[in-house]
């Protein structure tokens, strides 16, 4: 008998190379998982980060019995591109690499800023992009509220960056002929 | 007695003249910094590229992939000694180049960090001096005509040394600083230092708010 493929609508959570237990904990709450399920997501995959110390928080895996959200996690991968590609929603720490990799793939994105970081310049970028409606920005405490209220259709696609203007200026300054 | 007096006087005169020459030279370097190079030529320029952890290397690779490599060669990449990923990413970029761009192979170097995260400030004085000495050693070897950097702490000693080279006449390195896309309203510490000290020849920012605040910078839009 052929297995019917379960439709996977995945939420991918990533903390990059940082330690960001607050995000993992916030995502792994019944509230958030319930809200994601209500919105039609079937799978939750969390990249929890790696370190030489033991984690203070490990999420609960779940096989999805009784129609609940399938939850899985892993520590680290050299490239999360594939996970981003197969996700329908991405929840990420505020690193610029993660943010732009996700926006370039055109995926809906919620950026969660780590308030425990000493020098939190990362929030500037997340807030600016949120103001320009390219993503949603939240603290771990407000994640549930953000997911409940979000309207992903209202997000605007992020226009691709262009390095040519700065290169043109550099070339001209050095006296290279214009192309 | 008079001879001793004459001797002191001529030493004082020499020191004064020397200091005057240095001051004039420094003023001249500040005046010339930021002015486009007068000679227009297609000759390739040796280029130092400073990499840094986090988004810095990714942004730099993004810029390099669009640059005409034949104009910026030979290329020297420097990353902090504890940064394992950056040089690797640079090697991947260099390996992917067409053969005609690989004729002069790029060089990859690591530099001692002034201070590790959490290091005590007392031992940091020693490590900073070592880092400066190491930076000087590398810069004397490379003497680049162009320096590209975008914010990691490693770029400050290198750019300061480049400035000193301009003063002393060892090499005129054109310094291009591109502030990271993650800096929207405030400059990074490295950026602030290089901006205030007027060391960078051209200072680029990726958000209009920064250009309005730092009027000697140039807004070039988002590069990522």
> Closest to A124 (Cβ–Cβ): which among B59, B184, B218?
B184
DSSP per-residue codes, A122-176? HHHHHHHHHHTTSSEEE-GGGHHHHHHH--GGGPPPPPPP--HHHHHHHHHHHTP
Q: Tell which B residues from 45 to 74 touch A, by Cβ distance under 8 Å.
A: 45, 54-55, 58-59, 62-63, 65-68, 71
> Closest to B41 (Cβ–Cβ): which among A128, A166, A175?
A175
Chain A residues lying within 8 Å of B37, measured CB to CB: 173-175
B16-75 residue pLDDT tens:
999 999 999 999 999 999 899 877 788 999 999 999 987 889 899 999 999 999 999 999
> Closest to A174 (Cβ–Cβ): which among B65, B174, B185?
B174
Instruction: Identify the closest residue of chain B to A94 by CA–CA distance.
Output: B182
| A interface residues, B as partner, C-beta within 8 Å | 95-97, 100, 121-122, 124-125, 127-128, 161-167, 169-177, 179
Instruction: Identify the closest residue of chain B to A101 by CA–CA distance.
Output: B224
A96 and B181 within 8 Å at the Cβ level: the answer is yes
Cα A21 to chain center, whole Å?
Answer: 14
B113-155 residue pLDDT tens:
877 767 787 887 888 888 889 999 999 999 999 999 998 888 9
Asked whether residue A120 carries a pLDDT value surpassing 80, the answer given is no
> Closest to A163 (Cβ–Cβ): which among B40, B62, B182?
B62
Instruction: Identify the closest residue of chain A to B34 by CA–CA distance.
Output: A173
Interface confidence, given as ipTM, is 0.90
Q: What is the pTM of this model?
A: 0.88
A36-74 residue pLDDT tens:
999 999 999 999 987 555 566 788 888 888 888 999 999
């Amino acid at each position: 008998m052929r297995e019917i493929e379960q439709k996977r609508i995945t939420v991918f959570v990533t903390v990059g190379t940082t330690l960001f237990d607050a995000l993992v904990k916030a995502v792994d709450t019944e509230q958030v998982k319930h809200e994601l399920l209500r919105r039609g997501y079937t799978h939750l995959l969390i990249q929890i980060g790696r370190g030489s110390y033991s984690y203070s928080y490990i999420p609960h895996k779940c096989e999805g019995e009784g129609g609940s959200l399938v939850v899985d996690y892993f520590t680290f991968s050299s490239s999360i591109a594939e996970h981003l590609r197969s996700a329908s929603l991405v929840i990420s720490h505020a690193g610029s690499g993660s943010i732009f990799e996700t926006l370039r793939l055109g995926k809906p994105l919620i950026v969660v800023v780590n308030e425990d970081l000493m020098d939190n310049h990362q929030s500037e970028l997340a807030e600016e992009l949120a103001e320009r409606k390219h993503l949603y920005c939240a603290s771990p405490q407000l994640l549930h509220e953000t997911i409940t209220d979000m309207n992903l259709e209202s997000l605007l696609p992020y226009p691709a960056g262009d390095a040519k203007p700065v290169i043109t200026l550099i070339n001209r300054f050095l006296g290279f002929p214009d192309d | 007695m008079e001879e001793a007096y004459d001797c002191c006087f001529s030493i004082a005169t020499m020191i004064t003249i020397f200091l005057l020459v240095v001051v004039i030279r420094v003023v001249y370097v500040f005046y010339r910094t930021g002015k486009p190079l007068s000679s227009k030529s297609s000759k390739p320029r040796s280029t130092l590229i400073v990499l840094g952890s986090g988004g810095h290397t990714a942004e730099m690779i993004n810029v390099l992939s669009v640059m005409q490599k034949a104009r910026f060669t030979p290329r020297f990449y420097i990353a902090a000694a504890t940064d394992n990923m950056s040089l690797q990413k640079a090697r991947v970029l260099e390996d992917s180049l067409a053969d005609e761009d690989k004729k002069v192979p790029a060089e990859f170097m690591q530099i001692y960090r002034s201070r590790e995260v959490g290091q005590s400030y007392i031992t940091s004085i020693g490590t900073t001096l070592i880092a400066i000495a190491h930076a000087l050693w590398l810069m004397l070897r490379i003497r680049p005509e162009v320096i590209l950097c975008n914010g990691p702490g490693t770029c400050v000693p290198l750019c300061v040394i480049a400035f000193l080279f301009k003063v002393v006449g060892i090499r005129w390195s054109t310094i291009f600083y591109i502030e990271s896309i993650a800096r929207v309203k405030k400059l990074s510490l490295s950026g602030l230092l290089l901006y205030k000290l007027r060391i960078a020849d051209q200072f680029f920012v990726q958000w209009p708010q920064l250009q309005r605040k730092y009027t000697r910078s140039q807004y070039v839009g988002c590069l990522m």
